[in-house]
Structure 1
Amino acid sequence: MSQFEYTHRRKNPLTGDWVLVSPHRNNRPWLGATEQASTESLPSYVDDCPLCPGNNRANDTKNPDYQDTFVFVNDFGALNQQQQTSDTNVTSDDELFTFEAANGECRVVCFSPDHSKTMPELSVDELTKVVTTWRENYQELASKFANIHIFENKGEIMGCSQPHPHGQIWAHQHASSEIAKENSQQADYYARHQTPLLANYIDKEVADGSRVICSNEHWIAVVPFWAAWPFETLVVAREDIRQFGQINDQQAQTLASLLKELTTRYDNVFNCSFPYSMGWHSAPTNLADDSHWRLHAHFYPPLLRSATVKKHMVGYEMMAESQRDLSAETAAAILQKASTTHYKQAQQGND
């Protein structure tokens, strides 16, 4: 029996959480369905899309005739800076009913004026503009808030109700639960080793190679050893970058190149527009010392066996801990074999 071909648990060092891995149920030659290339083709412009250039949004604000990216304050933001209470520092003294006011700002980032182009279908130059737009907004928001979350929900299956390719940026002063856990775990590791956790981790992944999907001089994408979602990936800066606002122009371009390759491989696994939730984790700006941090992004895609079969985090996953059948190594092998030429482009070349 080779390594890991038995039921075992893996610990996520970033959060302290565990995942139960049962490879005997699924660690065999890949039997997942390969769907026919999707025939659905979205138009480049939709006259009633609230994110297309020149159209009106729900609050009757008219979008400009933008040519690359477009950012606006979310018309239905979960956070705002205008609280209804007169005391924005209100808290509770009851440890069983603890609460605090939450202020912040939510922005929408349209990746392109083209309604039909998702991230892998954008050029590297177009994606570089997306990355620099993220950076500029991060820098601006960091002057007001300690925690800035850049993320994208792609696909209806992930709850995205608007097909026009876009992401969001939420900024607030409080440390969100995931950031608080990652900060604690990374700080503890740094105190013991005097090296950032993710710096050591990617060195070991490069040396092993089995879970590395793509990399360049500044970035690396791996299926993390502790992955909970079927084709989960982790994108990590290879240099000492702690916050998204610290990315320089060259790093922005190489990040765009890596994101294009990674998301293209995703789409080519099942010949479909691969859904996911993606988000960047940066060091909070109010830390006295953030030496333990390394900028990284999580991709959580739900698809398991085909373009229509997803992994449901229910039952044991909700009541106990995450569980997966497809090992991280098998998932990585599938992504490594996926073409870097988008299936739509390949189909056009064969027509």
Structure 2
Amino acid sequence: MAEKFDAADHQHMRFNPLRGDWVLVSPHRLKRPWHGKKERAEEKFIPPFDPTNPLSPGVTRPNGKVTPKYEETYVFDNDFPALLPEIPSPGPPSHPLMKCAHAAGTCRVMCFHPRSDVTLPLMSVEEIQKVVEEWIHQVQELGEKFTWVQVFENKGEINGCSNPHPHCQIWATSFLPTEPQYEDENMKKYLKEHGKPMLLDYAELEAKSKERVVVENDDWIVIVPYWALWPFEVILLPRKRHILRFPDLESDERKSLASIMKRLLVKYDNLFECSFPYSMGWHGAPTGPEAKGKDYSHWQFHGHYYPCLLRSSTIRKFMVGFELLSQGQRDLTAEKAAEQLRACSDVHYKEAEKKDKETK
């Protein structure tokens, strides 16, 4: 008798409908002996205020500009931007293999909080909501002119963040970047074939099964997607309503978004008892003058979180070898990753340690 397939034990591929590609899942590899260390990382001391950090209130930045003494969020144009708004066009290509296209845009930095020693999971829901409101304001303002507005956060030195002060970046572009292009094409195709927005359909499917759900509330659901590539990757989706862009959120949805973000990020930190590193960003329907009057009903606003940690606070997942040259691959199944995240406490480990010390 043929052996029955078990997704928790047998290798298989899973399709990513947003990108239109496949991920190889090899759960049996978790049975191999592992002799690496599972240790808690030694966290660097970060003072509440650092007079040498250009993102701290009142500090002079390298270009001579002074960061004002802000008390909540603060946004400024990046001193060393990857994109400039006014730039000449390269003109037609000299050869089909040497194509070059015009790219204009602007880059901004947004500080979440005046203190350098806090991160989003250590902030209050009210403070996170102010971050959400500023994100919405930035998308609304830049979206009047630019085709795409990418809000993103790189958190943690291991994940490429060079400044520990709590902040994110906002890049607005005159073109639709590659990842949103994939999503645009595949969501449009799904709506045409199935008559419903892909991610609205997906949220309903996962809300019923609960197998890959990490946290949820009345408005939002956080899922380790079936097709996840990174070990503890999640997608944050509206739970019931069709929402095209960040500015379309109603006031109660903005507050509940801040609440579910805190719950997720506390679980992330608690997983390996460290300030959990990740890259995250928000995706919504394209913006700009060309988008006005255009049908984007296939889009659904959502957020992606891509954390790099694999087994502990010091062991990261690298995309090398087969992943780099052939196809994405993971050992830990999405179901197992969601189970581990769900099991984490909603109380941040630092707050729990503080209370524990106070009671002794």
TM-score (norm 1): 0.95
Identity of aligned residues (%): 45
Amino acid at match of 1:55: V
Unaligned 5+ runs, structure 2: none
Give the stretch that moved more between structures: 64-73 or 35-44: 35-44
**CA shift at 1:36, angstroms?**
4.3
Whether the 8 Å contact between 1:272 and 1:307 is mirrored in structure 2 is: yes
**CA shift at 1:2, angstroms?**
6.5
Whether the 8 Å contact between 1:280 and 1:298 is mirrored in structure 2 is: yes
Instruction: Give the counterpart of 2:26 among 10, 22, 26.
Output: 22
**CA shift at 1:246, angstroms?**
1.4
Instruction: Give the counterpart of 1:339 among 342, 345, 348.
Output: 345
Distance 2:310 2:195 in 1: 38
**Match of 2:316, SS?**
coil
Aligned to 1:131: 132
Answer yes or no: is 1:252 the counterpart of 2:260: no
For 1:294-329, what per-residue CA distance to the aligned partner results, in whole angstroms no more than 9, with x for missing partners? 001110001001100000000000001110000101
**Match of 2:311, SS?**
coil
- Matches of residues 233-312 of structure 1 in structure 2 within 5 Å? 233-238=234-239, 239-285=241-287, 286-287=290-291, 288-312=294-318
- Matches of residues 20-169 of structure 1 in structure 2 within 5 Å? 20-26=24-30, 35-36=39-40, 40-83=44-87, 85=88, 88=89, 90-92=91-93, 94-169=95-170
Distance 2:211 2:38 in 1: 23
**CA shift at 1:146, angstroms?**
1.2
Distance 2:94 2:194 in 1: 38
**Match of 1:183, SS?**
helix
**CA shift at 1:38, angstroms?**
5.1
Pick closer, same or farther for the CA change 1:247–1:150 going to 2, 3 Å: same
Whether the 8 Å contact between 2:41 and 2:313 is mirrored in structure 1 is: no
**Match of 1:106, SS?**
strand
Distance 1:102 1:128 in 2: 33
**CA shift at 1:69, angstroms?**
0.3
Instruction: Give the counterpart of 1:12 among 3, 13, 16.
Output: 16
Task: Count residues with an aligned counterpart.
Answer: 348
**Match of 1:151, SS?**
strand
Unaligned 5+ runs, structure 1: none
Instruction: Give the counterpart of 1:3 among 3, 6, 10.
Output: 6
Whether the 8 Å contact between 2:277 and 2:308 is mirrored in structure 1 is: yes
**CA shift at 1:26, angstroms?**
1.6
Amino acid at match of 1:273: S
**CA shift at 1:252, angstroms?**
1.1
What RMSD in Å do the two structures reach over aligned CA positions? 1.9
Whether the 8 Å contact between 2:285 and 2:300 is mirrored in structure 1 is: yes
Distance 1:79 1:281 in 2: 19
**Match of 1:305, SS?**
strand
**Match of 2:265, SS?**
helix
**CA shift at 1:101, angstroms?**
1.4
Amino acid at match of 1:156: E
Pick closer, same or farther for the CA change 1:348–1:40 going to 2, 3 Å: farther
TM-score (norm 2): 0.93
Give the stretch that moved more between structures: 57-66 or 89-98: 89-98
**CA shift at 1:34, angstroms?**
6.0
Amino acid at match of 1:324: R
